[in-house]
Amino acid sequence: MLKDLPYKARIFILLVFCSGCILALNLFRLSIDTPINWGGFLLFLILTVLSDSLPVSLPRGGQVTVSFALVFASILLFPPFVAVLVAILGDLLSSKRERPYPLHKYLFNSGQLILSVGLAALTYHLLNGRLEPVFMMDLLPIMTALLVDVGINIGLVTIVMALAQEVSPWAIWATNFRWMIPNLMALAPLGVLIALVFRSTGGFGVLLFFVPLLIARHSFQSYMDMRQSFLDTIQSLAAAIDAKDPYTRGHSERVARYAVAIAREMKRPEDQVEQLQYIAVLHDAGKIGIPEAILNKPGSLDRDEFAQMQHHAAIGAEIVANVKMLASGADIVRHHHEKWDGKGYPDGLVGAAIPLGSRIIAVADAFDAMTSDRPYRPARAPEAALEEIKGCSGRQFDPGVVKAFINVYPSLNLSNKAEQKTLAEAAAAREEVASHRQKVPIEHECGDDRI
């Protein structure tokens, strides 16, 4: 609903729609005396509707379709107003559209399509674009139209998503759109070819081109499916690790959530944040190689046991190094128990020599460990754990990371619904701990020796 959106997003949507309407009126006036190939318009409209009906969902919301090539061909073939009609009607008639189509989406999509397609078509015609690209100079109007189309489209969608979700446009751009640019640039030549084929052979040749478009769509979908499978696999692996110790249930996911919040607060690039999220989920993957008798021991670890426990960092790094998409994060796993003062393990790295991701996970890990029940001690209150983290700043933890954690702590919303469930589980575990607790060891550091 339009009224449910943040104030700035509503203003932006209305601004885009009104600007689009003004441009559409002007394009209509410019096209009124131009002869129009209505058969060609109908063919491109039908193909665009078909393509738009097979969208690929993006990870942070929004969708992309291969109809881009068909609309781009329309920009090169038809007067600007007709190209805009192909884009808007293709969007509205798509069978994958929500029914009823929410007003704010209708307003924004119509406005941004008119602006991106209309201005790209206008640019192409003003530059006297021709459909015989033999010399480099002939490509200039096409390239300019492409940049205008892609730039306005992605720019407006990025801004509206950032305003609606109240996150930085950079976060939306990096997660959803940066990887799209090469794909759109690859679809653009296909659009040019479709336009050339239509000009020389008519509709039949265009139909032949529709098959590669469907294959391109399949590639988009495969990429998104693979990405999702990758995430699911990581989460299953983390759940398997957590399952070895019922007291750490959900630990990996919570550490990942805190680590992401800290990294964003530290203004890390969004692709690094995403990588850190996966690594944080797997930071204790090496525990799979540690005997359960040590993991679940209801008392302090002796020297040998502690030495065995320390191996989990190196084992985890080896596991992660074998996953091609995560291999660059293996060092982060290896060093997640290093300390700022050099007294950590496995390599005793000091200060900035410790990878930043490891320093971030160290704080997130210690905070979650302190606020969770363990067989050898009950959970602490979040505020008490935060104070302890502050106390260890500059000794165990990177002061910069602690500062970022203090800043994001209020927004971690530890009392939201998901967290309430976790807290309820923690309360049940606490009762169990109380019933057979032996002795609570005196803690000498933030977190404990088994995080």
For Fe ion, the nearest residue by Cβ is 284
Q: Which residues of 136-155 are buried (b: 16+ CB within 10 A; e: fewer)?
A: eeeeebbebbbebbbebbbb
Torsion of CA 188, 189, 191, 197, to 10 degrees: 170
351, 399 Cβ separation under 8 angstroms: no
The DSSP secondary structure of 225-258, one letter per residue, reads HHHHHHHHHHHHHHHHHHHTSGGGTTHHHHHHHH
Question: Whose Cβ is closer to Fe ion: residue 84's or residue 369's?
Answer: 369
What's the residue count for the chain? 451
Question: Whose Cβ is closer to Fe ion: residue 188's or residue 256's?
Answer: 256
Min separation Cβ 416 and Fe ion, Å: 26
Min separation Cβ 309 and Fe ion, Å: 9
Burial label, 244 (beta-carbon count in 10 A; 0-12, 13-18, 19+)? middle
Min separation Cβ 319 and Fe ion, Å: 13
Burial label, 408 (beta-carbon count in 10 A; 0-12, 13-18, 19+)? middle
326, 275 Cβ separation under 8 angstroms: yes
Q: Is 393 helix (H, G, I), strand (E, B) or coil?
A: strand
Question: Whose Cβ is closer to Fe ion: residue 265's or residue 284's?
Answer: 284
Question: Whose Cβ is closer to Fe ion: residue 121's or residue 370's?
Answer: 370
Min separation Cβ 424 and Fe ion, Å: 25
Min separation Cβ 336 and Fe ion, Å: 6
Question: Whose Cβ is closer to Fe ion: residue 274's or residue 448's?
Answer: 448
CA distances (Å), 278 to each of 68, 175, 207, 317, 324, in order? 32, 14, 42, 13, 13
Min separation Cβ 313 and Fe ion, Å: 6
Binding site for Fe ion (CB under 5 A): 284
Min separation Cβ 403 and Fe ion, Å: 23
In a 13 Å sphere around the CA of 144, the CA atoms on its Cβ side amount to 17
Min separation Cβ 401 and Fe ion, Å: 16
Question: Whose Cβ is closer to Fe ion: residue 143's or residue 288's?
Answer: 288
Joined tokens for residue 87: 């884009």
CA distances (Å), 130 to each of 3, 31, 44, 192, 233, in order? 45, 18, 19, 11, 50
Min separation Cβ 225 and Fe ion, Å: 31
DSSP state of 377: B
Question: Whose Cβ is closer to Fe ion: residue 138's or residue 445's?
Answer: 445
What is the phi/psi pair of residue 397, to 5°? -115, 155
Closest-CA residue to 268 (of 277, 399, 320): 277
Burial label, 4 (beta-carbon count in 10 A; 0-12, 13-18, 19+)? exposed
Question: Whose Cβ is closer to Fe ion: residue 69's or residue 280's?
Answer: 280
Question: Whose Cβ is closer to Fe ion: residue 284's or residue 338's?
Answer: 284
Min separation Cβ 257 and Fe ion, Å: 17
Question: Whose Cβ is closer to Fe ion: residue 153's or residue 358's?
Answer: 358
Joined tokens for residue 22: 């003004």
Cα–Cα distance measured from residue 238 to residue 261, given in angstroms and rounded to the nearest whole number:
19
Question: Whose Cβ is closer to Fe ion: residue 426's or residue 451's?
Answer: 451
CA distances (Å), 150 to each of 36, 188, 310, in order? 25, 10, 51
The owner of tokens 């009950």 is 378
Joined tokens for residue 384: 């008490």
Min separation Cβ 10 and Fe ion, Å: 46
333, 347 Cβ separation under 8 angstroms: no
Min separation Cβ 365 and Fe ion, Å: 6
